[in-house]
Structure 1
Amino acid sequence: MNNVVKLTRIELYDKVWTTPLTTLSKEFNLSDNGLRKICIKFDIPLPPMGYWQKLQYGKKVVKASLPQQENEQEIEIYVDQNKNDPNPINLLKQIVTEKIKNNSALILKVSERLSKPDEIVSKVQDNLSKKKVNDYANIKGTIHTDGGLPNIVVSPKNISRSLRILDNLIKNFKILGYRVSVDSEGLRFAAYEDKITLYIKEKSNIKDTTNERGWKSRDLIANGKLAVKIIQYGTTEFADTDKFLVEDQIEKILIKVETEFQRMAENRRKWQIESEKREELRKIEEAKQKTKDEERAKFISFYNDAHRWKKFMILKEYFEYMKSNNTTDKKWIDWAEKKLDWYNPAKNAHDNLMEDVDKNTLENKEKKGWNW
């Protein structure tokens, strides 16, 4: 099913200069190349390579003017509703991929030698330079960093590669605006409250061995292939293959980490919205319950007053009888008249000596203890 979106040249021009093509194209369910062709057809200039990165970092940019045409045509874009990707993570990855590819500040090629290493890398280099191969290590033929440093387990011949890869990733993640730190878990990249752990490990092969006493064992032997592991609710590995080294996969690593951070941010935003909705519903229910409680308390008061009024009428009748009796003491009459005013639900006169008495039960009110 297709929907037609109609735009003027100026409207489409404004859109492509305020939103990257990779994002804007999703609005029309087109590829960015498809939208690019439409802009070229109608002579609408597009932002040059690196435009959005310069804008992001507050650098000066130049916006090309829209060429005038004698006969302005209305642009019709047919939106194919059937092209919607049911998996939002795929759309997110597409957006992140374009962001990484167009970020000219990123260093997508690992240097052949370590140059001006990050402070964390310098500490790792110093630590590994003092290490010797440990025959009792989990992976034989390897050395590993001490606690409080990025987690690296490699053979001596891969130390240089590991340091250069680590340095490249740290510098790139700082360019992307992440906070880089080391804790008990190893190297961490953080964005807001979200964190991702990264470590470098040499892969291994299993080898069956038999010692001089005839005891058989299975050992892990370092095989020279490096792997970068990303840990966040699971592990993603980028390892040396027959075609590509880890150094050739820097872009993929950055896309993976950025996608994960964006996914976590989106989940946090959704959670915040749901939390606000729940809080709003809680307040509504709380207000409803408060109204019900107030209504109940109001009726109980009405009920008690009615029953007290009936008892008051009995007391008043008795009072009138006693008052008409010439033998009744005037002092008692004055006293009883005040007590009637106190008990009368229509008057509720104050009485110092009766202020601790519940008028409905005539029992002493419960006194609240002191709050220390």
Structure 2
Amino acid sequence: MEAKELTRKELYDLVWSKPISTLSKQFHVKSSYLKEQCTKFNIPTPKSGYWTKIKHGKDVEKTELNGDEDLIIKLETINDKLDKKRVIVPAKLSKSHKLVAIAKKDLANKKLSYRYASKGMITTSKGILNITVTPKLVSRALIFMDLFVKLAEERGFKIWFKEYYGTVVSLHGIDSPIYLREKNKRIIVRNNGLWNETELEPIGELAFKRDDYPRKEWHDSKSVKLEAKIPSIIDYFEEQAIKERAEKIEREKWREEQKRKQKIEDDLKELRNSEIEKFNLLYEDSTRYYKAEQLRGFINAKKEYASKTSSMSQSLKSWINWANEKADWLDPLVKREDTILGDYESFK
């Protein structure tokens, strides 16, 4: 793969100057990949029907570009689709890829399986190219894998192994588990009257599978062997990687937007709770102040009554002092600390 550099503004101007399908051919990239880059770098693109309106001279709206216009974007250009004529299937394995050489050595020491789904076949060990075939199909399976791995790596794929998933092909950060196996057919081995006992029998045909969503299978047909389908298999993984990467970016953007909205909602909730708390405190303080003034009014009324009736006593004077202290203790403006009750905030 090669990389072409251009600024964010340059790519923006280009996608508004001609359809992405045309532009993708100019850059030797897939349309889905170009759309992915626009999504990734927040570059607005024309909506559906835009170019039809242009063609018929109708008014159109152009979405403005916001943000850093000079940010450099690297477009990974790819060659045209693999030429099927390039896939020359050798009669025997030679100069094999190191991963295939490891698989060949591993299969040479394998015993036939008695498991239901792979009975009569041999399977590579964990951490080795995932192959399950009968001994007579080993040579062809290795040749297929050798062709696939070499062409895939030539196109920029990474072949690696993942625990619980086996062999994985990766491109643009998208991982796809794969395996090669011999196809089976179900045969009846015994009729018990009420039901048939069946077994799976290998039929000498190869099938190559993508073992995750969306699942995909290629296999031998009457007129075309699986090896001839390698170019279309690799093209599929390229297109899917670009498509799924774009979808992944969209999901990440959606999640970020949801997080942003949730933060706004949480901030508003926190602000509202803070306002409620402050209001409740205000209301409580005003109520305390009103009660303190009410107490003082009562204390003064009692004091005035004692003066009028000449009934002021030492015990009443002590009560008046005590009552005024309690009013000051209750009053949020005075906040007097009581020798017994402490401050009002601790008391409540």
In which range does the TM-score fall when normalised by the shorter chain? 0.5 to 0.7
RMSD of equivalent CA atoms: 4.3
* Aligned residue pairs, count: 286
Is 1:318 the counterpart of 2:298? The answer is: yes
What is the correspondence of 1:32-71 to structure 2 with a 5 Å cutoff? none
| Structure 1: segments with no counterpart, 5+ residues | 1-13, 37-45, 51-77, 84-97, 366-372
In structure 2, what is the equivalent of residue 346 of structure 1? 333
Q: Verify the 8 A CA contact 1:25 1:31 in the aligned structure 2.
A: no
Is 1:152 the counterpart of 2:131? The answer is: yes
Equivalent-residue separation in structure 2 for 1:347 and 1:306 (angstroms): 13
Q: How far is the alpha carbon of 1:191 from its aligned partner?
A: 5.1
What amino acid maps onto 2:176 in structure 1? I
Q: What secondary structure does 1:256 align onto?
A: helix
Match of 2:87 among 109, 125, 131: 109
In structure 2, what is the equivalent of residue 265 of structure 1? 245
Q: Verify the 8 A CA contact 1:154 1:201 in the aligned structure 2.
A: yes
In structure 2, what is the equivalent of residue 165 of structure 1? 144
Q: Verify the 8 A CA contact 1:149 1:182 in the aligned structure 2.
A: no
**Alignment deviations for residues 37-65 of structure 1 (CA, whole Å, 9 cap, x no partner):** xxxxxxxxx78x89xxxxxxxxxxxxxxx
What amino acid maps onto 1:298 in structure 2? K
**Alignment deviations for residues 82-115 of structure 1 (CA, whole Å, 9 cap, x no partner):** 99xxxxxxxxxxxxxx9452689xx963662434
Q: How far is the alpha carbon of 1:136 from its aligned partner?
A: 6.9
What is the correspondence of 1:256-295 to structure 2 with a 5 Å cutoff? 256-295=236-275
Equivalent-residue separation in structure 2 for 1:29 and 1:183 (angstroms): 39
Equivalent-residue separation in structure 2 for 1:332 and 1:189 (angstroms): 90
Match of 1:197 among 177, 201, 214: 177
Match of 1:80 among 52, 64, 72: 52
Q: How far is the alpha carbon of 1:336 from its aligned partner?
A: 4.6
Higher mean Cα deviation, 156-165 or 114-123? 114-123
Q: How far is the alpha carbon of 1:169 from its aligned partner?
A: 2.9
Q: Verify the 8 A CA contact 1:170 1:180 in the aligned structure 2.
A: no
What amino acid maps onto 2:333 in structure 1? A
TM-score (normalised: structure 1): 0.61
Equivalent-residue separation in structure 1 for 2:183 and 2:127 (angstroms): 22
Q: What secondary structure does 1:101 align onto?
A: coil
Q: How far is the alpha carbon of 1:146 from its aligned partner?
A: 3.5
In structure 1, what is the equivalent of residue 103 of structure 2? 124
What amino acid maps onto 1:109 in structure 2? V
Q: What secondary structure does 1:227 align onto?
A: strand
Equivalent-residue separation in structure 1 for 2:275 and 2:93 (angstroms): 77
Q: Verify the 8 A CA contact 1:189 1:196 in the aligned structure 2.
A: yes
Q: How far is the alpha carbon of 1:129 from its aligned partner?
A: 0.8
Q: How far is the alpha carbon of 1:132 from its aligned partner?
A: 4.6
In structure 2, what is the equivalent of residue 302 of structure 1? 282
Q: Verify the 8 A CA contact 1:110 1:164 in the aligned structure 2.
A: no
Distance 1:177 1:333, change over 3 A: farther
Q: What secondary structure does 2:257 align onto?
A: helix
Q: How far is the alpha carbon of 1:249 from its aligned partner?
A: 1.4
Distance 1:339 1:100, change over 3 A: farther
**Alignment deviations for residues 265-311 of structure 1 (CA, whole Å, 9 cap, x no partner):** 22221111111221122122222222322332233223222322222
What is the correspondence of 1:202-217 to structure 2 with a 5 Å cutoff? 202-208=182-188
**Alignment deviations for residues 302-328 of structure 1 (CA, whole Å, 9 cap, x no partner):** 322232222212221233356665534
